[in-house]
Amino acid sequence: MKKSYDVVIIGGGIIGCSVAFELAKRGRKDVLVVEQEYLTSGATGRCGAGIRQQWGSMLNATLALESTHVFENLEEYTGYDGDCGLNQGGYLLIAYTEKEWEQFQKNLEIQHQVGINSHAVPLDCIKEIVPHINTDGIQGACFCASDGHADPFHCTYAYAKGAQGMGVEIVTYTKVTGLKVENGRIRGVATTRGDIEAKVVINATGGHAAQMAMLAGDELPIFPERHQILITEPVAHIMNPMVMSFHRHFYVQQTPHGSVIMGMGDPNEPVSLNTKASWQYLEHNAWVVTQTLPAFRNLRVVRQWAGHYDMSPDRNPIINEAKSAEGFITIAGFSGHGFMVAPRTAILVSNYLTGQQDSLDISRFSVERYKTGELLLEPSVV
Amino acid sequence: MKHIEVMVIGGGPAGLCAALAASSLGAKVLLVERDEIPGGQLVKQTHKFFGSEKQYAGDRGIHIGQMLLENVIAEQDIELWTDSTVLAIYEDGVVTVEHEGKHTKVKPDRLIIATGAAEKFLSFPGNDLPGVYGAGAVQTLMNVDGVKPAKRVLMVGAGNIGLIVSYQLKQAGVEIAAVIEGLPKIGGYLVHASKIQRAGIPVLTRHTILEAYGNGQVEGAIIASIDETWQPIPGTEQKIPCDAICLAVGLSPLTELAWQAGCAMAFVRELSGHVPVVDDLLESSRPGIYCAGDVSGIEEASAAMVEGRLAGLSAAFSLGYEANEAKALQQSAMEELAELRAGPMGQHIRDGINKVKLKRKIGNHAFENQTEKSGIVKDYSSDATNTCRAEIKTSLINDGIPTKEELDAIYPSDKRLTEGPIAIVECFQEIPCNPCVKACKRGAISMLRDINDVPVVDEELCNGCGLCISLCPGLAIFVVDKSYSGDMALIKLPFEYVPVPKSGHFVAGLDRAGRELGRFEVVRVTSGGDKNKTFTVSLAVPHDLVMEVRGIRIGEQAI
């Protein structure tokens, strides 16, 4: 670790590592990634790992579509010798209310405009996609065959190793304890292993992002919210796609090795950095999911865990350079879909930092939108 | 959701004693055991326990386990769930259990984690071949399931488990190729090593296993000497044909539940890994959660039983049960623990505990008025630093065979030897054990300060009756009678094999290294009783061999 870098990235999750990679690819190689524990130890390593393109806003649909293209070739793209575990089994989104079904149809139009190959599924065809589903109460469904999931650990390592190969340094078990700001400009970070100077500091700390930004005098509306997941014993494959219901707040999929992994949002979950799992969640999630997929009723749960969504008010990412500290850029607030849009987000941020053109307007993600009211409204999140 | 005052996780020696102690003060207890039969490691421990009578010393582990379980079953205030696995301890104190096939929730007022330990494994080529076992697994096969696990075994590790399981394999008629140990000394009790040496089992210190070989199953192992940096010395490789390799290379505390419960944890090498940090009453950093037994540091089962008792008392006391009685009981349990750990064998445990002991929080539960505990308990640790408490430095520590000097120092005077029978206690190591002292009705065997001292025989008081022979857990006591006849002297030996010889039989007499010294007549065999099961065999040997013969062999089998 040197005393000074061009760019210091705080956070060794998928965002921090992908930004490091894309920056290095564009020639900004004097980069240090500082991770307080180990790579993926935060939200990335705890996430549901889904990759979904079926979004309801043009911006998210574009981010997801273009990220999916990167995931499809991530090993080659980063020069990684492992397997990033991409499995495109599709996402089946099911609507339980009329209103939800109407929204789905609007979403499809947007998705088709950006070129996503999603389609509505006639009710009598749902069982062709997921044979064991209980269709009671389902008003409609959509499917996108190229949705799927990938291994968040391998994806992060792929970016990290690719970045290191180009000269990026990564330090783990090192905590950033302070930010140095002078004359309205970021100058560096203080860490548990000493002070480091930097021209640019990137805050990719997920649920910790608001706390971190406060150290530079930047107030951001990002809140950590606990989300839990459970996983069952592996059994024979009976379900390819991820099944997702916004109305019932759940998603469930069967992994390639046969375990069934499922997660749920809780509308009453308080803001907190708690990562403890709860038995109430275990019982509730198991009950809700088996209403829709009764075949999973006798599976044994082998693990449960919790991680954080980094929530923003409009449940969309905040990419923001601090007014109080020029050169301090926060990339957070992904509200539960950071993993799946990370590849394209990293490209967007890196293009900005290297003065390159991008087809997306990065300013749309700034916190200014909460003042102007031009929110990034996304109707379809769990 | 089920509510209970005290929940105990784990039905091994610590858990059983915790449940009994908590209920003895009046608390309602739920004891949860993963196995179908509680007892933990006790269910297969056919050897006699060390320690003092307070920890049932001299009784065999299986009998202690049965007795504790019977007491638990007879106690109306203890509910016992067997075949039930604790799944999780949640933030709100709810414990979930897989019980009768259901996800069951329990809300205990106090929780005692007594989950024990698991065997460690070693990395070497071929360690995945069928026939490579943990020593504990082999012990279960033999002693619980009645399956002879192999014909010829290589034992890796000369700690107590390696030595004891080797002895039990020998009892089951299995040949032991060798016991190898990476350290320069034997880690287990030397009386166990002496016992297997005189059965002809070599103990090789500073040796390691390089690989296991075989086509589809273990057919042998390659072992080698290692240097001071633990590197194999080229040219010392030996091929050891065997059909099983037992790994007795230590235990790791089973701490998952303590981690999950959010107990403060610390890595303490002396306690064998990451352990929950506890205070002197065994409460963890999370109020109301106690830890007892191997989960908070690997020790003998004797210590686990006392820790279990202390945790049970502490949990019940903190709920307000039997305040006055409990304090005295807690104190005596703490004194027992201090005594068990006072000798050189307890040095690492004392060091480990001192590194991470939690300071009792004033205002916690019922202990507001309690002051410093360390002043109340007799401090054995200062005794232990005394020069009298010395580690063995002779070759005895390498092979379990006492030197001539060590033997000469304990032999009775020549005059006393000619006068009639007298006990010879070949116990040179300071280990916590005193059944011999209790066994002698004449008070001829004594210890200087506490149970860690080596026993001393008073040659005037001892009449050579031999009662102590079958009561010594280490099988280290012999009676020699040079007055037996003009030609022959009598040696009385402990014996725990089958078949049992009968008087009139001629058997091979073996020295302390298992070498045959001749064939001698058995003149008497006495049983230690149905429970004790150790026989005393009297053998007539020439006068010049009576200090040499320490074992016998019937037929081809060295025993």
A373, A376, A378, A382: CA torsion to nearest 10? -100
Predicted local confidence at residue B443, as pLDDT:
96
In the structure, what pLDDT confidence band is assigned to residue B366 with cuts at 50, 70 and 90? very low
Q: Chain A to chain B, count of Cβ pairs less than 8 Å apart?
A: 17
Task: Using the Cα atoms of residue B51, residue B558, residue B165 and residue B60 in order, give the sign of their dihedral.
Answer: negative
Task: Identify whether the C-beta of residue A353 lies closer than 8 Å to the C-beta of residue A207.
Answer: no
Length reported for chain A: 382
Select the residue from B99, B103, B107 to test the A interface by mutation, using most A Cβ atoms within 10 A: B103
Predicted local confidence at residue B374, as pLDDT:
36
Residues of B in contact with A274 (CB under 8 A): 91
What's the token pair of residue B59? 């009784």
Residue with token string 């205030």: B77
Distance, in Å, from the CA atom of B164 to the CA atom of B189, rounded to the nearest integer, reads 9
Question: Do the chains contact at A283 and B103, CB–CB below 8 Å?
Answer: yes
Predicted local confidence at residue A367, as pLDDT:
96
In angstroms, what separates the C-alpha of A296 from chain B's closest C-alpha?
16
Question: Do the chains contact at B91 and A276, CB–CB below 8 Å?
Answer: yes
Nearest to A54 by CA among A124, A181, A141, A172: A141
For residue range B437-486, list pLDDT tens digits in order.
Answer: 999 999 999 998 889 999 999 999 999 999 999 999 999 999 999 999 99
Task: Identify whether the C-beta of residue B242 lies closer than 8 Å to the C-beta of residue B153.
Answer: yes
Task: Report the 10 Å Cβ neighbour count for B446.
Answer: 15
Task: Identify whether the C-beta of residue B292 lies closer than 8 Å to the C-beta of residue B303.
Answer: no
Task: Identify whether the C-beta of residue B95 lies closer than 8 Å to the C-beta of residue B4.
Answer: no
Helix/strand/coil for B266: strand
Distance, in Å, from the CA atom of B258 to the CA atom of A50, rounded to the nearest integer, reads 32
Radius of gyration of chain B from its Cα atoms, rounded to whole angstroms: 24
Residues of B in contact with A283 (CB under 8 A): 103
**Torsion-angle region of B276 (φ positive above 0: left; ψ -120 to 50: alpha; else: beta):** beta
Select the residue from A279, A281, A304 to test the B interface by mutation, using most B Cβ atoms within 10 A: A279
Task: Identify whether the C-beta of residue B54 lies closer than 8 Å to the C-beta of residue B336.
Answer: yes
Highest CATH level, class, for A88-147+223-311? alpha beta
Task: Identify whether the C-beta of residue B150 lies closer than 8 Å to the C-beta of residue B174.
Answer: yes
Task: Taking residues B378-399, report their average pLDDT.
Answer: 66
- CB of A276 within 8 Å of a chain B CB? The answer is yes
In angstroms, what separates the C-alpha of A277 from chain B's closest C-alpha?
7
Supply the DSSP symbol for B295: G
In angstroms, what separates the C-alpha of B22 from chain A's closest C-alpha?
27
Q: Is a pLDDT exceeding 70 seen at residue B410?
A: yes
CA neighbours within 13 Å on the CB side: how many for A216?
Answer: 34
Residues of B in contact with A279 (CB under 8 A): 88, 90, 94, 96, 105
Q: B96 to chain A: nearest residue by CA?
A: A279
Q: Is a pLDDT exceeding 70 seen at residue B360?
A: no
Provide the β-strand partners of residue A229.
Answer: A263, A305
What per-residue string of b and e applies to B135-153 under the rule 16 or more CB within 10 Å gives b?
bbbbbbbbbeeeeebbebb
Select the residue from B91, B102, B257 to test the A interface by mutation, using most A Cβ atoms within 10 A: B91
Residues of A in contact with B105 (CB under 8 A): 279
Q: Is a pLDDT exceeding 60 seen at residue B371?
A: no
Q: B261 to chain A: nearest residue by CA?
A: A276
Displacement of CA B495 from its chain's centroid (Å): 19
- CB of A278 within 8 Å of a chain B CB? The answer is yes
Supply the DSSP symbol for B282: -
Distance, in Å, from the CA atom of B196 to the CA atom of B178, rounded to the nearest integer, reads 10
Q: Which amino acid is at A42?
A: G
Q: Where are the domains of chain A?
A: 4-47+153-222+314-372, 88-147+223-311
In angstroms, what separates the C-alpha of A262 from chain B's closest C-alpha?
18
In the structure, what pLDDT confidence band is assigned to residue B370 with cuts at 50, 70 and 90? very low
Q: B260 to chain A: nearest residue by CA?
A: A276
Sequence-distant (6+) residues with CB within 8 A of B330 are B281, B310, B313, B314, B317
Residues of A in contact with B88 (CB under 8 A): 277, 279
For residue range B274-304, list pLDDT tens digits in order.
Answer: 999 999 999 999 999 999 999 999 999 999 9
For residue range B319-330, list pLDDT tens digits in order.
Answer: 999 888 999 999
> What is the DSSP code string of B529-553?
-TTT--EEEEEEEEGGGTTT--EEE
Question: Do the chains contact at B105 and A279, CB–CB below 8 Å?
Answer: yes
Predicted local confidence at residue B378, as pLDDT:
43
In angstroms, what separates the C-alpha of B395 from chain A's closest C-alpha?
47
Sequence-distant (6+) residues with CB within 8 A of A275 are A46, A226, A305, A306, A307, A308
For residue range B75-97, list pLDDT tens digits in order.
Answer: 999 999 999 999 999 999 999 99
Residues of A in contact with B89 (CB under 8 A): none
Supply the DSSP symbol for B257: H
Task: Identify whether the C-beta of residue A216 lies closer than 8 Å to the C-beta of residue A183.
Answer: no
**Torsion-angle region of B53 (φ positive above 0: left; ψ -120 to 50: alpha; else: beta):** alpha
Domains for chain B: give ranges and CATH numbers. 2-116+252-383 (3.50.50.60), 121-249 (3.50.50.60), 399-558 (no CATH)
**Torsion-angle region of B136 (φ positive above 0: left; ψ -120 to 50: alpha; else: beta):** alpha
Residue with token string 């000798």: B343
- CB of A236 within 8 Å of a chain B CB? The answer is no
Which secondary-structure segment (H or E) carries A15?
A: helix A14-25
Residues of B in contact with A276 (CB under 8 A): 90-91, 262
End-to-end CA distance of chain B: 56
What's the token pair of residue A77? 């793209």
Sequence-distant (6+) residues with CB within 8 A of A363 are none
Task: Taking residues B536-551, report their average pLDDT.
Answer: 97
CATH of domain A4-47+153-222+314-372: 3.50.50.60
Q: Is a pLDDT exceeding 60 seen at residue B352?
A: yes
What's the token pair of residue A245? 């219901």
Displacement of CA A127 from its chain's centroid (Å): 29
Supply the ipTM of this predicted assembly. 0.86
Residues of B in contact with A278 (CB under 8 A): 90-92
Q: Are strands B102-113 and B289-291 parallel, antiparallel or unpaired?
A: parallel
- CB of A298 within 8 Å of a chain B CB? The answer is no
Q: A304 to chain B: nearest residue by CA?
A: B88
Provide the β-strand partners of residue B117.
Answer: B253
User: Which residue stretches of chain A have pLDDT < 70?
Assistant: 382
In angstroms, what separates the C-alpha of A171 from chain B's closest C-alpha?
24
Predicted local confidence at residue B389, as pLDDT:
63
**Which residues of B touch chain A, with CB atoms under 8 Å apart?**
88, 90-92, 94, 96, 103, 105, 262
In the structure, what pLDDT confidence band is assigned to residue B381 with cuts at 50, 70 and 90? very low
Q: Are strands B78-81 and B29-32 parallel, antiparallel or unpaired?
A: parallel
Residue with token string 């004033």: B362
Nearest to B345 by CA among B432, B471, B280, B256: B432
Length reported for chain B: 559
In angstroms, what separates the C-alpha of A304 from chain B's closest C-alpha?
10
Which secondary-structure segment (H or E) carries A162?
A: helix A152-165
Distance, in Å, from the CA atom of A306 to the CA atom of A213, rounded to the nearest integer, reads 24
Distance, in Å, from the CA atom of A79 to the CA atom of A74, rounded to the nearest integer, reads 8
> What is the DSSP code string of A225-282?
EEEEEEEE--------SEEEETTTTEEEEE-TTS-EEEEE--TTPPB-------HHHH
Sequence-distant (6+) residues with CB within 8 A of B234 are none
Cis amide leading into B499 (omega within 30): yes
Task: Identify whether the C-beta of residue A78 lies closer than 8 Å to the C-beta of residue A161.
Answer: yes
Predicted local confidence at residue B555, as pLDDT:
72
Q: Is A98 exposed, middle or buried (0-12, 13-18, 19+ CB in 10 A)?
A: exposed
Question: Do the chains contact at A278 and B92, CB–CB below 8 Å?
Answer: yes
End-to-end CA distance of chain A: 40
CA distances in angstroms from B105 to A266, A355, B7, B108, B475, listed in the order given: 22, 58, 12, 10, 48
Distance, in Å, from the CA atom of B353 to the CA atom of B271, rounded to the nearest integer, reads 8
Residue with token string 């061999």: B545
Question: Do the chains contact at A279 and B88, CB–CB below 8 Å?
Answer: yes
For residue range A77-107, list pLDDT tens digits in order.
Answer: 999 999 999 999 999 999 999 999 999 999 9
- CB of A283 within 8 Å of a chain B CB? The answer is yes
